[in-house]
Amino acid sequence: MRLSAAAAVVIALALGACGTSKEDEAKNQVCDARAGIEREVNDLKQQTPGTVTVDAVTKSIQSIGDDLKKIGDPQGDLSDERRSEIQKANAAFAAQIREIGSSVLRSSSLRDAQAQLNSAVADLQQTYGDTLAKVDCS
C-alpha cells in the first residue's frame, strides 16, 4: 500500500511538471532573450576606449538583434496585454539598435566610433531600462 501511494505521488508530480502551457513557454522564451540582451548591453557598457573593437560591438549588436527576433517569435502565444507590452518594448529597443548600427558601426575613424559608442551605450542602457527591463519575468 505504501508503495502505491508513493508511486501515485511520483506520477502526479511528473505529470504536473509536463504541463507547461504555450503561454508559459512563450514567456520563458521572451525572458531568456531579454536576459541575453541584458548581458550584451552590460558587455558593451564594460568596453573602454582601450578595449573596444568594431568586431566586438558588431557581434553584440548582432546578438541583440537575434534576441529581439526571439522575443518577437512567440508573441502570438502571449495574452493580449502581455503581447502589447512586449511589442512596444521590442519596437522601442529595436529602433535604438538600428540607430546604433547606422552610426557607430559606420564611423570613419576609431576615435569617432569610440566616442559614439560611449554615447550609444548610455542611450541603449537607458532604452533597455525604459523598455525590456520592465517586462515581468518573475
pLDDT tens-digit map of 4-47: 555 444 454 444 555 578 888 989 999 999 999 999 999 988 88
Predicted pLDDT of residue 104:
65
Distances (CA, A) of 21 to 10, 46, 49, 79: 21, 38, 46, 12
Q: Using an 8 Å Cβ cutoff, are 82 and 94 in contact?
A: no
Grid coordinates in use for 137?
519575468
Mean pLDDT rounded to a whole number for the chain: 80
Predicted pLDDT of residue 50:
76
Which domains are seen in the chain, by residue range?
Answer: 21-134 (1.20.120)
Distance CA 91, CA 106 (A): 22
Q: Using an 8 Å Cβ cutoff, are 33 and 67 in contact?
A: yes
Q: Is the dihedral of CA 56, 60, 66, 70 positive or negative?
A: positive
pLDDT (tens digit per residue) in 86-129: 999 989 888 888 887 776 666 667 677 677 777 888 888 898 88
Q: How many CA atoms lie within 13 A of 96 on its CB side?
A: 25
59-97 as b/e: b if 16+ CB within 10 A: ebbeebbebbebbbebbebbeeebbebbeebbeebbebb
Band of residue 63 on the pLDDT scale cut at 50, 70, 90: very high
